Structure 1
Amino acid sequence: MTSKITMCEFNHHPHMLPLVSGYLQAYSQKDPEVESETEFELFTRTANTSADNIIEELVSRQSDVYAISCYIWNMGLIRKLLDPIIERVPHARIILGGPQVQGRAETYIRPEQNRIFIANGEGEVIFYEFIKEVIAGGKNFRNCPGLNFWDMKLLTTTPSPPLIKDLDDIPSPFLTGIFDDMPFVNVAYETNRGCPYTCSFCYFSRGGEYRKLRKFSQERVSKEMDWLTSRDLMYIFMADANWGVFKQDIVYSQELANYAKKRGSPTFVSFSAAKNRPNAVLEIAQIFKDAGITNSQPVSFQSLNPEVLKLISRINIKADKIDELQTLFSEQHIDSYVEMIWPLPGETLESFKQGLEVICNKGLGTITCYPTIMLPNTALWDQEEEFGFVTLEPEDALNDSKIVIQTNWVTEAEYEEGVRYYFATHILFNLGTLRCLSNYLHHDCNIPMNKLFTDFADYMKAHQENDLAFWIEDFIIEKGGFVDNGSLGMCAHRILHEERDKFQPFLYQFVSEQPWWSDKKAQMLFEVDILNTPYLYSTLPVRGNDCFENHLKYITVIDNKSGRCVAEIPSKYKKFIPQYVYSESEVNDCLNASCYEILYITNQIPYMPSWSKEQVGNYGQGRIQSNRSLMPRWEPLANAQSEQQATDDEMFVEEVF
């Protein structure tokens, strides 16, 4: 009688290929006995699927083994599944694996749950030995390596096996037919395992033998990429810890690009960039861009404070590379985003603000700031007392994590102020709502961006009658400020689409109350920002006749159609457009223009009202991380100045001087 094995994965994204399950099945079925004595089934759902529905589906299968991949984002769901499955499938065993559960049996399983096991370590060998014991009758799991389980109410731990030296010993689930009938459009894919760095907050950097990089063969990877891109694939996440660390990664990127040109697949690619290979990563980003693949190059700083980097054992991109990177990005029109974490040990509120300001001034692209999350099996997990961490569990029922809200360097009130400050930066800089004006104030008026963002953060806190300001404050106070892609993307959706006509008057109210508002140049650049604010979707929001663009004082909008408009700038101040809207490499194209066609729609997709909140948030953040391609394009036109505009110009000049 064959043993029925259900491989379960619960992901953020729908239609995600279950890579881990495929590896485990492929490695186990290398053994002819296992292949003949087992029946495998792949079961994937999104993590926000109803637990009751999943329970009914899994129980109906009456499987002998349920293997479940456990991560920070799905452990809340998985906890709800365990008791019902054990109670309603009395012959079943459950094996849990993944970074969230390793070494934490006492947290996740009770002494009476003696049919639940935890895999400690790399999964393939552990799972294979476990399945062999199940086939043999399951009488002595003490002989299986890498397990935690309760036996006679005593916690049993068996030694973990060594890592697989040659990754090609794992048969390819792509090339052996395991995924042939699996519908998917998104995939996480790896060409190597391991990470040489020791970042204390990261599971990849857990040290020991995991620091040694192990690679799948080039021949295998090339065949798998051929297979993947023949499946009408939309999104690939390169799951290697440092994409670009090997020269071969450039070759693989070119292979993907060639397939994308030929087959239209994949459409999107993302990756975790090699920490000290900026030129290689830039070359990879250029390859994807040339192939029409949507990609934004990540720059993982986490902090710009040297003391912080020392405390978290972080080897970072050298500070003198920032200017070089910014110049290369600008010249080649490549999107980028910077990853930061708040609050890390050693970081103060002031150093955090200064770090974000440096990034804004260098024009490195969107800033994505993550919370400090206490991940099991990381060095930081064991330093909670040393660094004075106070933690909070998010309200999200799916999430099983602890976020840091206080350290030896930051009080809880300062933590909240830092989150508020980051949201101000996200709104004014990432979303482009005050990008031109903030640059002018910083460079010409000696008003640091740090102060502008702080003032706006304080303004939102003081004006809770505004729906968006209330939403942000509620997010900080009631939900602990657990900033993730969903919350940042939802913020973008509200400001750039759903509540656009409400936000712009609120922003005007803020700037008009500032002491520098008497500066007429600042007033005109605010109008430039109004016209330069991007749209998130190709479906433009329904807007009334009183929308802000119809009430500009200095700039004349002479043609406003769906997805574009034509604007005339006071000729005396046409130099502001190339100075604050364009990159340095584009300035010469528009030095003499005072009339522009502003094109808003580039590669956005239509808004789908049927999308869930999670889908809206994920799309929004993905587009903001590709901010350069989202921003409107200002095309200089032959000057078509009207008589009224000429008169307005003269009046404007008189007012300024």
Structure 2
Amino acid sequence: MDASGKLSVVLVQQGVWDSELESMPLASGYLKASALADERLNRETAVSIRNYRGRVTTSGMANDLFGDAVPDVLAFSVCGWNFRQFGALAETFKQLNPQGWVIFGGTHVAHQGERTFRMFPAVDVVVDGEGEFVFPELLHAVLDRRRPDDLDDLAGLTYRDRQGSVISTDARPRITNLDDVPSPFLTGAIELTDGNGRFRYDVALMETNRGCPYKCAFCYWGGATGQKVRAFSRERLRAELEVFAKLEVHTIVLCDANFGMLPGDEQFVEDVIELRERYGFPRAIEASWAKNKSKTFFRIVRRMKETGMRSSFTLALQTLDDDALDLMNRRNMKVNDWEELVAWLAAEGLDCYAELIWGAPGETIESFMAGYDRLSAKVSRIACYPMLLLPNTDYTEKKELHGLVTVRGDNDDFEYVLANRSVSFAQNQKMARFLYWARVVAEMCVLRHTWVGLRGLTSITQSEALLDFDEWLLTTDNPAAEPLRVAARPTIGGAGDLETAITLFYTDKATKQLLRAWWTESILPRVPDGHRSLLQAIFDFDLLTQPVTADSDDPRPQRVSVRCGEYYVLKDVKLRYDIPGILGTLRRGETPSLSPDPTVVDLYYRVGADDVVRSTNHETIIHFMGQTTEEVMANAGVTSSDFTLNAEEVA
């Protein structure tokens, strides 16, 4: 009990990224709001949330959780990256409070009670689905002095009975009316501001719906694959959006499996636009877009373009190989008809990026590289991820059938695929280095315009350039190469140290000079003479438009307020070519003029990049790239006259 005599309940959540700002504890917020909506629980319990950044150690969390007082109930929102740490905390908790309850919930442990209890005997209960209605029932059981080994009347969980047998109770029906779940924002369950009254998280997380109609072999979207999609009401979502608008939240990230699929999604976007007109915020929406693009999707995209609402449009392809698509259960999905969609988005002047998974059954190095380069000829970014086996997925259940060889991560509980029937262990190791540089240099936008120039002006493919950089880095005697060589050493899953390399490329002058040396020594000599000057100018523009951080070697001290956002501005930048215009021409698949065309532009850089550079999140970093005046106006939804009136210098 706490000092007031109430049952002390602590909800624990930990994000994967170690950004300066926290990741919003949405799952814990739902649970807290649901518990406090119950009259008895509101009266007799004290529910709090402890939310940790990605790099907080187990001992650091233990000192925070147990330093002042040990709670009565410890409930964890478990993901693959924190499963082991939370298991260790459960063990410590039981030593301090043997009668306390430990509850695990989340996609990584749902329906995995037997393994969870075997690994972490201190865990009492595993919630097997949506937890908002199960959690209050468990707290009532604690208040009623019931034992955690006698819960057979509570649906939707797994526990051990008095004989130690693992018991899974009847499945609980999925929540039909999502508005029955109290809002963590409208109820104040999630603390939204810091001590200075500012929004305390990197982005605002929201759900507009739950469920996914597909059954992709690699995916277990909240246990809702193959399920009917259920939506929150427009009225509730609008009220939540207004909270964020008033707090000047820049980006809303939607935790939906297929945003843009339901008619209500169109209404949601209209509400975002209207609130932005009133409050100036939100400025951007990031989402996992509907896999099959309907008329609703196209209307939403066009409307967002018309009003300057930013988003990154995702092609969640995962593979372009027909054999791998069959084994993924994705062959018949319209997402595979992607080229027409990319062409439409390009014609609308909208950015699009793609996702690929390396290591899928049926995929080979040759087919993956062919797919990568086919995509890179059409889209601005490709996010490449190593194949993970997740609990409750088709791949995991058919592991032997596909010949999947895996290993658990060093610092997480994911199963990383090291080989399958079409890829050997040695081949996978070779691909690890390519995936590393594909993520650091391409996905994280260290270079982004350069790829457009290479594919339009040379025969060098994006994969060739990345492999060339890796080979050059291993042989150069430039001292700035050593930190990158160390960072790129393969780890389990092939990820390497992403944060170190990304931070160096964005903040370290010597590393930027190293990138220039590779470009000058290894790539430019392969470029046709007549194209070399223009391609060099595009490369220079790439580095010039990288985000501005406190460590940047070329700071832009002048700050301006553009309607509702603050930017650094670099005035009267002289370019030998009209690079923004040439890039637009190349993206349309047209041939630009190779003659110099001196152009002067102003470049604007959104303030606050320090919070995102180290996060390894490409969906966020893209919003901090340097933009021309025209791009800022389009993204702010203002005219040139409005822009002039609202661009007031900030002291």
Equivalent in the alignment of 1:374 = 389
When structure 1 is superposed on structure 2, of 155-164 and 456-465 the one drifting more is 456-465
How far apart in 2 are the matches of 1:17 and 1:303?
31
The question of 1:220 aligning with 2:236 is answered: yes
Equivalent in the alignment of 2:25 = 18
Post-superposition CA distance 1:611-632 (Å, at most 9, x none): 6xxx4332662356569x6577
Post-superposition CA distance 1:298-344 (Å, at most 9, x none): 1111111122111011254455441x333333333322211111121
Equivalent in the alignment of 1:145 = 155
Equivalent in the alignment of 1:97 = 105
The question of 1:161 aligning with 2:172 is answered: yes
Q: Name the SS of the counterpart of 1:381 in structure 2.
A: helix
How far apart in 1 are the matches of 2:259 and 2:376?
25
After TM superposition, the score normalised by the length of structure 1 is 0.80
Equivalent in the alignment of 2:607 = 605
Contact 1:497 1:536 in 2 (8 A): no
The question of 1:481 aligning with 2:494 is answered: yes
How far apart in 2 are the matches of 1:252 and 1:54?
37
How far apart in 2 are the matches of 1:182 and 1:295?
25
Contact 2:94 2:122 in 1 (8 A): no
Contact 2:269 2:300 in 1 (8 A): yes
Equivalent in the alignment of 1:239 = 255
Residue 178 of structure 1, aligned match among 175, 189, 212: 189
Post-superposition CA distance 1:183-207 (Å, at most 9, x none): 5433321121110011111112856
The question of 1:200 aligning with 2:217 is answered: yes
How far apart in 1 are the matches of 2:45 and 2:92?
24
Flag the 1:69–1:47 CA change in 2: closer, same or farther, 3 A: same
Equivalent in the alignment of 1:229 = 245
Post-superposition CA distance 1:108-135 (Å, at most 9, x none): 3349946622111221232222112111
Cα deviation, residue 593, structure 1: 6.7
Post-superposition CA distance 1:61-117 (Å, at most 9, x none): 332211110012222321231111111123321101001112323433349946622
What letter is aligned with 2:615?
N
1:278-427 pair list within 5 angstroms: 280-288=296-304, 291-314=307-330, 315-322=332-339, 324-362=340-378, 364-395=379-410, 397=411, 399-423=412-436, 425=438, 427=441
What letter is aligned with 2:164?
K
The question of 1:189 aligning with 2:192 is answered: no
How far apart in 2 are the matches of 1:104 and 1:318?
31
Equivalent in the alignment of 2:532 = 523
How far apart in 2 are the matches of 1:381 and 1:538?
43
Equivalent in the alignment of 1:618 = 615
Equivalent in the alignment of 2:41 = 34
Flag the 1:23–1:630 CA change in 2: closer, same or farther, 3 A: same
Cα deviation, residue 136, structure 1: 1.0
Cα deviation, residue 35, structure 1: 3.1
Contact 1:436 1:525 in 2 (8 A): no
Q: Name the SS of the counterpart of 1:131 in structure 2.
A: helix
What letter is aligned with 1:8?
V
Contact 1:463 1:469 in 2 (8 A): no
Equivalent in the alignment of 1:6 = 10
The question of 1:55 aligning with 2:62 is answered: yes
Contact 1:240 1:271 in 2 (8 A): yes
When structure 1 is superposed on structure 2, of 118-127 and 13-22 the one drifting more is 13-22
Flag the 1:130–1:19 CA change in 2: closer, same or farther, 3 A: same
Flag the 1:81–1:268 CA change in 2: closer, same or farther, 3 A: farther
Q: Which of 1 and 2 has greater Rg?
A: 1
How far apart in 2 are the matches of 1:543 and 1:219?
47
**Sequence identity (%):** 22
Flag the 1:253–1:207 CA change in 2: closer, same or farther, 3 A: closer
Flag the 1:338–1:357 CA change in 2: closer, same or farther, 3 A: same
Equivalent in the alignment of 2:542 = 533
How far apart in 2 are the matches of 1:107 and 1:137?
27
Flag the 1:420–1:593 CA change in 2: closer, same or farther, 3 A: same
What letter is aligned with 1:603?
Y
After TM superposition, the score normalised by the length of structure 2 is 0.81
Contact 1:205 1:211 in 2 (8 A): no
Flag the 1:254–1:114 CA change in 2: closer, same or farther, 3 A: same
How far apart in 1 are the matches of 2:630 and 2:133?
57
How far apart in 2 are the matches of 1:181 and 1:469?
42
How far apart in 2 are the matches of 1:22 and 1:3?
18
What letter is aligned with 1:421?
F
Flag the 1:598–1:466 CA change in 2: closer, same or farther, 3 A: farther
- Quote the RMSD (CA, aligned, Å): 3.6
How far apart in 1 are the matches of 2:120 and 2:608?
52
When structure 1 is superposed on structure 2, of 339-348 and 282-291 the one drifting more is 282-291
How far apart in 2 are the matches of 1:449 and 1:51?
40
Flag the 1:71–1:459 CA change in 2: closer, same or farther, 3 A: same
Contact 2:156 2:172 in 1 (8 A): yes
Contact 2:248 2:282 in 1 (8 A): yes
Contact 1:206 1:378 in 2 (8 A): no
Flag the 1:521–1:623 CA change in 2: closer, same or farther, 3 A: farther
How far apart in 1 are the matches of 2:222 and 2:170?
21
What letter is aligned with 1:35?
N
When structure 1 is superposed on structure 2, of 491-500 and 88-97 the one drifting more is 491-500
When structure 1 is superposed on structure 2, of 199-208 and 301-310 the one drifting more is 199-208
How far apart in 1 are the matches of 2:250 and 2:94?
37
Post-superposition CA distance 1:593-618 (Å, at most 9, x none): 7333364733343654xx6xxx4332
Q: Name the SS of the counterpart of 1:299 in structure 2.
A: strand
When structure 1 is superposed on structure 2, of 432-441 and 129-138 the one drifting more is 432-441
